[in-house]
Amino acid sequence: MIQNYFKIAWRNLLRYKGHAFINIGGLSLGFACSVLIYLFVQHNLQYDNFHTNSDRIYRVVTEEHRDDIDFEASVPPGFAQAFRTEYDYAEKVAKHALWDNELISFPDQKKLKEDVAFVEKEFFEILNFPLTHGGVADLSEPNTAVLTETMAKKFFGDYDPIGKTFQLGGKTLFRVIGVLKDIPKTSIINTEVFLAYSSIKDYSQFLANENGWGGISSNLQVFTLLHPNQSIPAIEKEIQGFVKKYRPRSKNVHHYKLQALADIHFDPRYSGGISPNMLWIFGLIGFFLLLMASINFINISTAQSVNRSREVGIRKVLGGLRSHLFWQFMIETFLICFTSLIIGIFISVLALPYFNDLFNLELDMNALSNAQFFGFVIVLLLGISILAGTYPGFLLARIAPVLALKSKLNPKDAGGFNTRKVLVSLQFIISIILIVGTLVINKQMKYAINSDLGFDRNGIVRVALPDTVNESRLNSLKDRLENYTAIEQVSACFGSPGASDNRWGTSLVYNNNPETEEFQIQVKIGDVDYLDLFGLELVAGRNFFARDSVDEFVVNEKLAEKLGLNSAEELLGKSLEVSGGFMKGNIVGVVENFHDMDFHEGISPVFITARNDSYSELAIKMNLENTSASIEYIEKEWTEVFPNHLFEYEFLSERVENLYESEQQILSLSTVFSTLAILIGCLGIYGMILFYVGQRTKEIGIRKVLGSSTFNILVLLTEDFFKLLAWAALIASPIAWYFMNLWLQNYSFPTELNWWVFALAIGMIMVITLLTISYQAIKAATAKPVQSLRTE
Amino acid sequence: MLLELRNVSKWVKSGGMRTFLLEDIDLEVEEGEFISIMGPSGSGKTTLLNVIGMLDEFDYGEYSFLNQPVHKLKSKARAKLYKEYIGFVFQSYHLIDELTVYENIEAPLLYKKLSSSERKAKVAETLDRFNIVAKSKLFPEQLSGGQQQLVGIARALISSPRLILADEPTGNLNSTQGEEIMERFKELNKEGVTIIQVTHSEKNAEYGSRIVSLLDGKNLSN
């Protein structure tokens, strides 16, 4: 029986090749996307699930309560030791300090820049990153290091790395004592060089201090393995005692929280990898694409049921029951879905490299060979077969044999006429929402990237400076660079005004007030050329003079606002004490506000001053005519001054764009998926117009005989589609508006949600629909009426 | 008695008026009869045949088939009844285009609980009986009209029905082909199969043992 069903299903596929193509084409694309999305979601859900005791591992993070709340995925350096000795909640506690992009040099003069992490011994006892031979790495001795296999190869080639040495940042010599198995990509830990924590004293006094409670460095993470069965809220409440004990007077009130290991990847507040919303959106889009393909299937099958009705009639006369016919159709659907699935998996394998490229991922196909994927595919296959097959199957099985055999069945008896209209509208709605989404994200990106940020970025290149720079060498480098004709100006600084890797927010005391202010101020350090080079406009006062001591500050207008002053002038001449007296001086100038952060954030109060020991990069402004020659020149000069270091540069404008990396990803995502949605939708509409024209051949013939023009016929054939589109636009616009408005609320500086975005989306669909149906419609409208009438 | 219709009426309503398709039909059919239903176009011949074949419902009256009250049966039970005892032959053959001759003939057996070897045996026997073994792998469109109707009859007979309902079985055939088909029916009838055919042709009606004449849904022969 089933064999017979398969046979006839196959023959029907061959017989109606066009429809088969539309059905299988759409479903294959839908399945291909689903497989890719599955891989993506699966990848994200697997983060750090491979550690023994995963459920008892936590990271300690901090909520900083000032006038607003900041979230730091870190704690003060003194926390770990205090948590270890003063309480008995934890079996183990370990610090992990990231030192990114640090120079690593080898005895044979080879140089590299790599991210490294200083970790305490217990780090490898909490998290499972075993040595290649299976043991646990022990970094209790100072100046020891372990590397992953890949990194060991990169460092020492095929030589045995054990016992080999390398120097970090031109300071300490580290000895390799072990090689780790490569760390899975699905871990929040992605450094591949681990160093004994005790050696951090050579790099950061702040992080080395076991009793430091004064501030937080985002480089530090503290992991802990708790004893079993403890109440997290109770622990969090108890450790709040640290704040009273160690930071009794701070305006920045810390709240220490335990973040479960499994949550780390998903918490954007603590710069987690991805927000769970993104996974939902991905999943939803995959579902929508499959839904659209299923709708095509339903529409084509119900429209085709007139063609199939004779067979249904005969089978009923021969004794077939409704259930027989229903299942026969379900098996046909299953066969089509199965074929599509196989093609879809094939497409996804081909598309995976591009997908990885687009979304900066390293997914691989290994995940496709496990039982879980098999389960997913089975569920998907059955789910879509049922979604797509049930309704048309039911309609087909219901056909009355007497009518079917007499060929008296008209399309309305075959059913699904109104259903098809609703379904086509639904496809329009999904397409409109996806296109509006894409347009709005694109608009916001353009707005964020192309808006005047309040500082110049064109032609500005950032060049990193080594950690310790001798002032005279720095000045000689500046002079040599400025001598080059294409270079207009050079400024040594801590970071650019906006889009900076280096951020430093700290406390301030204004005008010798007894109290620290409730808010943080952002520290920008730059030499006298800083303001001019970045085009920061003074609104009051003057720039600071070049001097040896720090005693003159320039601030921004936002500070005046935060302090509740009426004008920028009031700030002039007032004293400012920053970072608990670390820097002290008078305000001599006020600049216009600029975007020191991306458009998600508001503008912070900022102060700018010169400070010779804090420069970490050179900002170089050059004309854009022969940039590669200029860069070459800069590299040459730089390397002469710092022969033991690696030269690196980056354009500021690129860095501004990189602020919106995740948005870029969402944009590529929505572009790809809305294109696919439109493609699948077009397939469906093409299928519908085929039937539509077929059904109305006679009507068109009669109308033409009665004197109707070709244009009238075209209007007749297209107006129904446009009516559906109008309905869809009416329903889709508010939905799209609601969601995009919600999305824009993530931004302190959102773009406007103009009406034309919606008009453009609807217009696009209209044009695409028109193009899709035009060939068939024109063919029908220009056909000779004699032929169409003769066939009757 | 094979079947009996009592006061069977079937109508459609249009504008509050009843238009009768069948009006007060009484009909008794004994096993082994060969009945021809005749009458002009629109007289209700096919409707009557469909009612007898349980493909169509009626609005009033009683119908018993092998002493079972058809008008009281649910559609599933009716389907079971006709799939057991009735075979249909149509003017336009109504073979399934996507199936070969073999598969078309096999189709009714698929809806019965037969093992595949039993099916094979039955189909082989039928193909042999109708002399169409050589054509078993062809599709309907590769056959002439007469051959297609032969397949139609073979298909109707495969489940050994007690009654064959034929709706103008020779309507689409030329006279030679038509005669062959009618000879087949005559033979079948001799073997004991009851046949009811709808026909326009006096000549075909002569093959039968009794004629039922319809006009405007009424039985004139009573």
Which chain A residues have a beta carbon less than 8 Å from that of B106? 4
Nearest-Cα residue of chain B relative to residue A311: B96
Which chain A residues have a beta carbon less than 8 Å from that of B118? none
Partner residue opposite A321 with nearest CB, options B76, B96, B103: B76
* pLDDT tens-place string over residues B101-133: 999 999 888 888 888 899 999 999 999 988 899
Looking at residue B69, its pLDDT comes to 93
pLDDT of residue A165 exceeding 60, the answer is: yes
Mean pLDDT in residue range A408-433: 79
Nearest-Cα residue of chain A relative to residue B56: A402
Residue B28 banded pLDDT, cuts 50, 70, 90: very high
Looking at residue A203, its pLDDT comes to 87
Closest-CA distance, A679 to chain B, in angstroms, reads 31
* pLDDT tens-place string over residues A734-782: 999 999 999 899 888 999 998 999 999 999 999 999 998 888 888 888 8
* pLDDT tens-place string over residues A57-112: 999 999 999 878 888 899 999 999 999 999 889 999 999 999 888 889 998 888 88
Looking at residue B59, its pLDDT comes to 92
Mean pLDDT in residue range A29-37: 92
Which chain A residues have a beta carbon less than 8 Å from that of B90? 405
C-beta separation of B22 from B198 below 8 A: no
Residues of A with CB under 8 A from a CB of B: 1, 4, 7-8, 11-12, 15, 310-311, 313-321, 324, 401-402, 405
Looking at residue A83, its pLDDT comes to 92
CA A198 and chain centroid, separation: 36
What whole-number percentage of chain A has pLDDT above 90? 35
Closest-CA distance, A314 to chain B, in angstroms, reads 7
Closest-CA distance, A2 to chain B, in angstroms, reads 10
Residue A789 banded pLDDT, cuts 50, 70, 90: low
User: A411 CB contacts (<8 Å, ≥6 apart)?
Assistant: A303, A306, A417, A695
**Best of B84, B85, B110 to mutate (most A CBs within 10 Å, chain A):** B110
pLDDT of residue A416 exceeding 80, the answer is: no
Nearest-Cα residue of chain B relative to residue A323: B76
Which residues lie across from B62 on neighbouring strands?
B6
A49, two tokens: 């699930």
pLDDT of residue B178 exceeding 70, the answer is: yes
pLDDT of residue B63 exceeding 70, the answer is: yes
Which chain B residues have a beta carbon less than 8 Å from that of A402? 50, 55-56
Q: A670 or A191: which carries more pLDDT confidence?
A: A191
| CA gap A488, A369 in Å, rounded | 58
Looking at residue B64, its pLDDT comes to 93
CA A501 and chain centroid, separation: 19
Residue A792 banded pLDDT, cuts 50, 70, 90: very low
Closest-CA distance, B175 to chain A, in angstroms, reads 24
Give which of B12, B19, B14, B21 is closest to B44, Cα–Cα: B21
Which chain B residues have a beta carbon less than 8 Å from that of A328? none
Q: What is the DSSP letter of A73?
A: S
pLDDT of residue A335 exceeding 50, the answer is: yes
Which chain A residues have a beta carbon less than 8 Å from that of B107? 4, 314-315, 318
Q: Do A318 and B95 touch (CB under 8 A)?
A: no
Q: Do A318 and B108 touch (CB under 8 A)?
A: yes
Residue A169's CB is within 10 A of a number of other CB atoms, namely: 17
| CA gap A181, A289 in Å, rounded | 40
SS (H, E, C) B115-164: CHHHHHHHHHHHHHHCCCHHHCCCCHHHCCHHHHHHHHHHHHHCCCCCEE
Q: Do A319 and B159 touch (CB under 8 A)?
A: yes
Nearest-Cα residue of chain A relative to residue B103: A4
pLDDT of residue B47 exceeding 70, the answer is: yes
Residues of B with CB under 8 A from a CB of A: 50, 53, 55-56, 76, 79, 82-83, 88, 90, 94-99, 103, 106-108, 110-112, 155, 159
* pLDDT tens-place string over residues A557-603: 999 988 888 888 888 888 888 877 788 888 999 999 999 888 888 89
Closest-CA distance, B101 to chain A, in angstroms, reads 13
Nearest-Cα residue of chain B relative to residue A312: B96
Nearest-Cα residue of chain B relative to residue A12: B98
Residue A628 burial (C-beta neighbours within 10 Å; 0-12, 13-18, 19+): exposed
Which chain B residues have a beta carbon less than 8 Å from that of A335? none
Q: Do B98 and A318 touch (CB under 8 A)?
A: no
Which chain B residues have a beta carbon less than 8 Å from that of A311? 96-98
Which chain A residues have a beta carbon less than 8 Å from that of B98? 8, 11-12, 15, 311
CA B47 and chain centroid, separation: 12
- In the β-sheet with B34-38, what is the strand arrangement from edge to edge? B86-89, B163-167, B194-198, B34-38, B210-215, B218-219
Looking at residue B148, its pLDDT comes to 92
What is the radius of gyration, based on Cα positions, of chain B?
Answer: 18
Q: Do B108 and A310 touch (CB under 8 A)?
A: no
Mean pLDDT in residue range B76-82: 85
* pLDDT tens-place string over residues A5-28: 888 888 888 888 888 888 999 999
A551, two tokens: 């005693």
Closest-CA distance, B124 to chain A, in angstroms, reads 17
Which chain A residues have a beta carbon less than 8 Å from that of B159? 319
What whole-number percentage of chain A has pLDDT above 70? 97
Closest-CA distance, B108 to chain A, in angstroms, reads 5
Q: Please give the mean pLDDT across all residues of chain A.
A: 87
What is the radius of gyration, based on Cα positions, of chain A?
Answer: 34
Q: Do B108 and A1 touch (CB under 8 A)?
A: no
Looking at residue B176, its pLDDT comes to 87
Which chain B residues have a beta carbon less than 8 Å from that of A320? 110-111
Q: How many residues does chain B have?
A: 222
Q: Chain A to chain B, count of Cβ pairs less than 8 Å apart?
A: 57
Backbone angles phi, psi at B188, to 5 degrees: -60, -45
Partner residue opposite A1 with nearest CB, options B79, B83, B110: B110
Q: Which one of A13-27, A201-215, A660-674, A723-737 scores highest in mean pLDDT?
A: A723-737
Partner residue opposite B88 with nearest CB, options A7, A311, A317: A317
Partner residue opposite A319 with nearest CB, options B50, B79, B103: B79
C-beta separation of A215 from A72 below 8 A: no
Which chain A residues have a beta carbon less than 8 Å from that of B56? 402
Mean pLDDT in residue range B128-150: 91
Closest-CA distance, B49 to chain A, in angstroms, reads 11
Closest-CA distance, B153 to chain A, in angstroms, reads 12
ipTM of the complex: 0.85
Give me the amino acid identity at A392. P
Q: A267 or A468: which carries more pLDDT confidence?
A: A267
User: Is the model's pTM score more than 0.90?
Assistant: no
- Range of weakest confidence among A414-418, A507-511, A592-596, A678-682: A414-418
- What does the buried/exposed string (b/e) look like for A283-297 if buried means 16 or more CB atoms within 10 Å of the residue's CB? eebbbbbbbbbbbbb
Residue A410 banded pLDDT, cuts 50, 70, 90: low
Nearest-Cα residue of chain B relative to residue A308: B96
* pLDDT tens-place string over residues A213-272: 888 888 899 999 999 988 999 999 989 988 888 988 888 889 999 999 999 999 888 887
Backbone angles phi, psi at A600, to 5 degrees: -70, -30
Nearest-Cα residue of chain B relative to residue A313: B94
Which chain A residues have a beta carbon less than 8 Å from that of B73? none
Q: At what angle do helices A661-695 and A17-45 cross, to 10 degrees?
A: 160
Backbone angles phi, psi at A385, to 5 degrees: -60, -45
Partner residue opposite A318 with nearest CB, options B76, B97, B107: B107
